[in-house]
Amino acid sequence: MPGWLTRIGERSQRVDTLASGFAAHRPAYLVLDQRRAPERCAALVGQPGWHDYLTLFAGTPLAPLLEASPWLIELRMGSQAWQAATALCQEQRIGWAFQPAQDARLDGLSDHLRQLFVLDDPHGGQSLVNVQDPTAWTAMLAAGSATAYAQLIGPLGKVVTPTPLPHWQAWQPAEATGDAEALSLSHELEQALKESPRAWWLSRATDTPLQALPPEWLVRLGRLAEGGISSWRGRQRLLPLIRHADDATWHNAQPILLDTSLTEAQKISELERHS
């Protein structure tokens, strides 16, 4: 199994509700990808329990993308605004929540998050990371070293993320140990970010928690993608092949996947016929 999937279970625990991961008497914070549901997110502003918010790209090199900027929101636990924002995270998986161990300022929390959107990558350049996306954020928390994990959590305290299934994951608070290093994308983290959308799809399609996915399923789904089969409908049709086919079947599938004269639909039909 890819190491980052294993570490989800090591660094977090399942909780049935978002609120169960937090102290009820203190405010909580959400990082929300408002561009994916602009009307519903705009409707949050001013609802009972809404305290304040910041646009996270403001004052950064990403400021030209301000209209697409994720929001950092401060809310009162259990309020109307909290319930609406929680539904957005769970139903559409467009955000995640956290609660610092001590009272914190919105500006200070935003400064920590803003440094995570653009990271040096292992190819000598820089990459944009969609920190607001629970899929990417889960991969970041799970794939990094213990030091990197502590730096990512930083002042956020208790972090709770949605999952592909109805439950949530509450991540362990972490304190930085040793000398802090500049956060960057390692090869492992870059690979985890690439694999994470496939892992989330497999988890949802098979009703299997991320950390319990058999490693060969993710490898096989990756082979389909490399062979040009990436549509939701195509993957769904080939799910029995992903889950149950033996090594010989997959060996025989390689010429079909590598045949550039076949369309995606033709490859799917051939794979179904030979499986």
What phi and psi values does residue 27 have, to the nearest 5 degrees? -65, 155
Query: Which residues have CB under 8 Å from 146's CB, separation 6+?
Result: 174, 177
Question: What pLDDT, on a 0 to 100 scale, did the predictor assign at position 2?
Answer: 67
Count other Cβ atoms within 10 Å, centred on residue 20. 11
Question: What pLDDT, on a 0 to 100 scale, did the predictor assign at position 103?
Answer: 82
Distance CA 190, CA 188 (A): 5
Question: What pLDDT, on a 0 to 100 scale, did the predictor assign at position 143?
Answer: 94
Q: What angle is formed at CA 156 by the lines to CA 154 and CA 157, rounded to 5 degrees?
A: 95
Q: What are the average pLDDT values for consecutive 10-residue runs of the chain, which has 275 residues?
A: 86 92 89 94 93 94 93 95 93 93 89 94 92 97 92 94 96 72 87 94 96 92 92 92 90 92 94 83
Question: What pLDDT, on a 0 to 100 scale, did the predictor assign at position 104?
Answer: 87
Cα R_g (the chain), whole angstroms:
20
What tokens does 243 get? Answer: 């889950």
Give the CA-trace dihedral at 244, 263, 200, 215, to 10 degrees.
40
Question: What pLDDT, on a 0 to 100 scale, did the predictor assign at position 235?
Answer: 93
Query: Which residues have CB under 8 Å from 219's CB, separation 6+?
Result: none
Q: What angle is formed at CA 200 by the lines to CA 191 and CA 266, rounded to 5 degrees?
A: 85
Q: For residues 43-72, b (16+ Cβ closer than 10 Å) or e, as one string?
A: ebeeeebbeebbbbbeebebeeeeeebbbb
What tokens does 152 get? Answer: 């990512």
Report the amino acid identity of residue 127: S
Entry pTM: 0.92
